[in-house]
Chain A
Amino acid sequence: MNREAFLARVREAATSGLRYRVHADPTVTRAMGYSTIEEDLVARFTAEVAKVGGRPVVVPSMEAARREAAQIFRIYEPRSALCWRHPVLDRFGLTDWLRTERVTQIDSALLAPQARAEQRRDMLAADIGITSCTFALAETGSLVMAHEFGNERVASLVPPVYLAIVSREQILADLFDAFDRLGERLAKRDWPSNVTLITGPSKTGDIESKLVVGVHGPGKWHVLVVDETAGEKPAPA
């Protein structure tokens, strides 16, 4: 059907339909939909990550983060890691650390010069994915990922194990806050081709409603939260 005829039909129907608009309650506002978060954002974020089946650990420094990451590597013994390039990962010292772990780092720097078939082969073969995030969300235990060159989608999607390294200041309180921040990027015309919110390891309940993890995406999701203010405060009970 041609565009003009299609839109004319919609326009006409929408106008006739005005008679059937529903009653609206003018007292409700968007602000009423904010979640109330009383505890510390790190505590709430990690609690939510655990609730959806992730494994969160809070560490007080990048050095402690490397020790934790080494523990995680002892479990899975990965040979190659599909990684983001990100300031938080630079602070972690990812490249050097992977070298000492003798794990091949696959990232945009390695992939960019390759032909597509090669890129795909390397991405699909990775044993673990390592990313930071654009923001993290305390309300839901989510990672908000603005995907672009250097911050590839496949890292959090294709390998069976996925490790995210999050720094305290990346954590926002509410889903609305995340969309406000994304809106700022949109206003600056810095809008990525793909944004994904991740809230758990890949799951399905399609076989007799029984929960199985890792059906298409990673079945294991580890989250290291680096809270460099943590040393200054008493540990949460």
Chain B
Amino acid sequence: MSTTDFTRQTHHEFLTASSQALVDANLQLSLANVGDTLAKRNREAWETFPQSAPLRELARQIKDATLADLAGHLETLEASVRERGGEVHYAGDGDDACRIVTDILRSRGAKRVVKSKSMTTEEIHLNDALEAAGIEPIETDLGEYIVQLSKQRPSHLVAPALHLRMPEIHQLLSTDAGETLPNTPEDLCAYARTRLRDAFATADAGITGANFAVAETGTIVLISNEGNARLTVTMPKLHIAILGIEKVIPKLADLPIFLKVLARAATGQKLSIYTTLANGPRKPDELEGPDEFHVVLLDNGRTRILEGPLRESLFCIRCGACLNVCPIYRNIGGHAYGGTYSGPIGAVLTPLYDGLTNNRHLPHASSLCGACQAACPVKIAIPEMLIQLRDQLHKEPGEMHWAEAQAYGLWARSMRSPRLYRFLTWLATRTVGRVLPSGWLKKLPGPLHGWTKNRDFPAPARERFRDWWSREGME
């Protein structure tokens, strides 16, 4: 396999990983597609559907209002689920959630579960917990299935196997099949369909995440293009949905507002192929659907985010649009970010969930170009949040070299004092500006060299703009 090792790291060395990613020819080929396909479709969707502007604003307002009384909405959700014969469980963290799920499964003697794509279960490493409990998890989204066979992690929110190329996928599925499969995407899909049909028919339980949970109706909303989410909540006797508390929306009437923007943002579709509202266990006369319905509500750091200045990151509906437009993501792919969530929103979420000092590179893994915010269906101010994280990080003791801290201090003071600013710019043009004819600083001295290691820094001009302006510009 040509995929580099960092894709299996659980904790990252961002700089090494991204440098490796940049020279990984396969990965670069895979990423080259993203701009022309997904990102372009997102842009066209916003341009050709003028209604998206008010809808995105509304979606944002609903998220904001819901978070303002989140506990109330969770209680309503619980009451609705109970009323329809389901059960609700509360998980303070990932271990809690894994224990709740494995307990339910064990007590029913479950041996094998089918899963439909869920980043939340990735976040809590549910598959590891299931395996440790002697329960076999089978991912059923084709991309997730491939990623599971490769023993890697998903590299994109909606296209988990984006980083893999045809030869690798062919090899993985052939190994799984125990024979060399024909080498076309159609044939590989046909194999997966048959293989997974068998899994659906024999699984003891179906585990899903949720794109939304409607408090008013106790509904778990699942969106997919393949149909695996539908099979997951239709064939097995037991359905367990695991979701972060931020997934709740108050009313059934709120849902179409989100549906109208989610697929457009993710893939440029008006709606994904299948939008499923799972409303509870089967009714007594029904021929299909689960006998039992469990909803596991997960905190896992979300309340810590909810109370703070980066609360807005909880608006995220995991569409992946910010990844597709991000110049950093499009160069390094998802794995280099190291966390469950990658791209611009991952650069915000991973430090929030996993600690800022553990992930000090992530807030800097952005050019702050603003493309993410422009693409986002709920207009999350990702660049601002990254700046806030950078600011917090720099206040951590020992985070910055003294010389860099001094330079920042001087910069900050000069920005507040016109006299000091004028003096410093005068000084810069008289000194560095006069001796460096090329106009570029290739290497800053000492601890400041990090600034120039991977880029050149423009040198001060020979003359200050204000001097030029007072001499000639006024005319």
Contacts and interface: CB of A to CB of B under 8 A. Distances in A.
Contact of A203 (B49, B165, B259, B273): B273
A202 B227 contact: yes
Contact of B159 (A33, A147, A205): A205
Contact of B270 (A24, A48, A183): A48
B275 A196 contact: yes
B465 interface: no
A17 B306 contact: yes
Contact of A2 (B90, B193, B231, B309): B90
Contacts of B192: 215
A186 B260 contact: no
Contacts of A215: 142, 189, 192-193, 226-228
Contacts of B211: none
A176 to B, nearest CB: 5
A29 to B, nearest CB: 7
A16 B304 CA distance: 10
Nearest to A185: B252
Contacts of A192: 279
A9 B71 CA distance: 9
A21 B287 contact: no
A119 B287 contact: yes
B253 A217 contact: no
Contacts of A200: 225, 273
Nearest to A124: B201
Interface stretch (B57-65, B328-336, B466-474): B57-65
Given A1-B90, A198-B274, A208-B165, A152 B288 contact: yes
Interface residues of B, number: 95
Nearest to B278: A194
A28 B169 contact: no
Nearest to B378: A22
Given A9-B299, A14-B71, A157-B227, A197 B281 contact: no
A163 to B, nearest CB: 16
A217 B226 contact: yes
Nearest to A178: B256
Contacts of B57: 24-25, 28
B286 A17 contact: no
Contacts of A30: 58, 257
Per DSSP, are chain A's interface residues mostly helix, strand or loop, or mixed? Answer: mixed
A152 to B, nearest CB: 6
Contacts of A186: 216-217, 252
Nearest to A203: B225
A209 interface: yes
Given A24-B61, A199-B272, A215-B192, A149 B161 contact: no
A10 B245 contact: yes
A176 B256 contact: yes
B282 interface: yes
A92 interface: no
Contact of A17 (B33, B231, B271, B307): B307
Nearest to B229: A216
Contacts of A183: 252-253
B394 interface: no
B459 interface: no
Given A179-B256, A193-B282, A17 B308 contact: yes
B75 interface: yes
B141 A14 contact: no
B276 A196 contact: yes
B420 to A, nearest CB: 34
Interface string A173-207: 00110111011001000011111111111111111
A193 B259 contact: no
A20 B226 contact: no
Contact of A6 (B197, B299, B309): B299
A182 B161 CA distance: 36
B68 interface: yes
B196 A148 contact: no
A153 B289 contact: yes
B277 A194 contact: yes
A30 B56 CA distance: 11
Given A13-B303, A204-B189, A216-B226, A175 B271 contact: yes
Given A175-B259, A175-B260, A10 B193 contact: no
Interface string B263-298: 000000111111111111111011111000000010
A237 interface: no
B140 interface: yes
B197 A124 contact: yes
Contacts of A157: 227, 230-231, 234
A7 to B, nearest CB: 5
A124 B198 CA distance: 11
Interface string B226-251: 11101101100000000001000000
Contacts of A108: 287
B186 interface: yes
A113 B458 CA distance: 80
Contacts of A111: 287
Contacts of B259: 175, 197
B92 A209 contact: no
Nearest to B188: A207
B230 A153 contact: yes
Interface of B: 30, 33, 37, 49, 51, 54-55, 57-58, 60-61, 64, 67-71, 74-75, 84, 90-93, 96, 140-143, 146, 159-162, 165-166, 169, 185-186, 188-189, 192-193, 196-197, 201, 216-217, 225-228, 230-231, 233-234, 245, 252-253, 255-257, 259-260, 269-283, 285-289, 297, 299, 303-304, 306-312
Given A17-B307, A139-B270, A202-B227, 12 more contacts: A1-B299, A6-B92, A8-B71, A17-B68, A20-B308, A20-B309, A176-B256, A193-B289, A203-B225, A206-B159, A208-B165, A216-B230
14 contacts: A6-B92, A7-B71, A7-B75, A10-B74, A10-B299, A12-B303, A21-B64, A154-B288, A193-B280, A193-B282, A194-B234, A194-B278, A197-B274, A212-B189
